[in-house]
Amino acid sequence: MNSIARTGQVRRRIRAWSRRHSYSFFSSLGVLLQHRIGTLMTVLVLAIAMFLPLGLYTTLTNLEGMNLRQDEWSAVTVFFKPGTSEAEVRSVAEELATRMQTENVVVISPAEGMLDFRDASGFGESLDMLEENPLPWVMQVSPRSGTTGEVEQGVRELMAYLQSLDSVELTQFDYKWLQRLGRMVELGRSAITALALLFGLAVIVVVANTIRLDVASHAEEIEILALVGAGNAFVRQPFLYTGLWYGLMGSLLAIGLLAVTMLYLGRPLGLLLEAYGTSFKLQGLGLYKSLWVLAGGGFLGWLGAGIAVQRYLRQLKIGGRLGRH
């Protein structure tokens, strides 16, 4: 009987705990909806604070994921030594095709190179006077796509391999732009981390100040609760859920603003990239990352509310009367 009684008592406590938290959870939302203008202003400030680091993070993610494949400006050009046979060139091409650093290998024979040069230069009659074709075998090797750092590392390894071949006269690849892009990405990561910490602190401060004013307006009710023996947890609970709602709504609005911004910029960015002979589609946060943003925003709101309530309770010097829970 004792075990059955204890089990029933535990169940009643769990039900009471669930009802109390459910009531605080939904009633705090109801209070926010009753004060729509004030709630909207606070949520908008929180959304802007979250939007800035999220926007930079999404920009950096898209920058790292740019398609660097099979474009002339991203291909390594290999010039073979005069007298290199076609068999040697084809052998090198087959070797490169199996390497992890390459996406595509294009072999250009001296005859094909001469035709291209004839069409591009307009010196057809002068070129006809040449007894021999002076152009060497040429190969264009496109690096495998990936993040900026991965492409840069792959290009370095690829050029080191090509320069070690006896049949290769010269390799060309202007990867200074790739190095600059890599440095920009590293700087962007550091900037995002700093901004995330800064604006995360701003979210906590905004929520804490809002909850502080809310607590001050209910000071008399809190003192009455203290007189009837209410504990700290009971007093904090509705304010904590209010902070949670602020964080959730702010992060949700920030995600929405980010989606609208990307939709607005997607078309002109696509037209700009098409002018450079490439295509790219902006990628958003996705469901998984969006859930993490919601969870992070809710936690920051909860934390800010907790700081404000605890500080105000200490100012009122009623912490002991409210109990230890």
For residue 143, report the phi and psi dihedrals to the nearest 5 degrees: -70, 155
Q: Which pairs count as long-range contacts for 105-113, CB under 8 Å and 24+ apart, including other chains?
A: 105/139, 105/140, 105/141, 105/142, 106/75, 106/139, 106/140, 106/141, 106/142, 107/137, 107/138, 107/139, 108/137, 108/138, 108/139, 108/140, 109/137, 110/135, 110/136, 110/137, 113/138
pLDDT for res 68: 45
Query: Residue 80: beta bridge partners?
Result: 168
What is the length of the chain? 325
Residue type, 205: V
Q: Tally Cβ neighbours within 10 Å of residue 298.
A: 20
DSSP string computed for 38-62: HHHHHHHHHHHHHHHHHHHHHHHHH
Instruction: Report the sign of the C-alpha dihedral through residues 148, 154, 155, 156, in that order.
Output: positive
CB 106 within 8 A of CB 77: no
pLDDT for res 69: 40
Per-residue pLDDT for the chain (325 aa), expressed as one digit of tens each? Answer: 456 656 666 666 677 667 766 766 777 777 788 888 888 999 999 999 999 999 888 888 887 766 444 454 567 888 888 888 888 888 888 888 777 567 778 888 877 776 776 666 666 556 555 666 667 888 888 777 666 666 777 777 888 888 888 888 888 776 666 667 677 777 888 888 898 899 999 999 999 998 888 887 777 777 676 666 666 667 778 888 888 999 999 999 999 999 998 888 877 777 776 665 566 677 778 889 899 999 999 999 999 988 888 887 777 664 454 444 4
pLDDT for res 72: 46
pLDDT for res 31: 76
Structural domains in the chain, CATH included, are 20-66+181-316 (no CATH), 76-172 (3.30.70.3040)
Query: Residue 143: beta bridge partners?
Result: 102
- Strand-strand pairing, 102-108 and 138-143: antiparallel
CB 312 within 8 A of CB 216: yes
For residue 141, report the phi and psi dihedrals to the nearest 5 degrees: -115, 120
pLDDT for res 115: 74
Q: How far is CA 277 from CA 42, 119, 270, 274, in A?
A: 45, 21, 11, 5
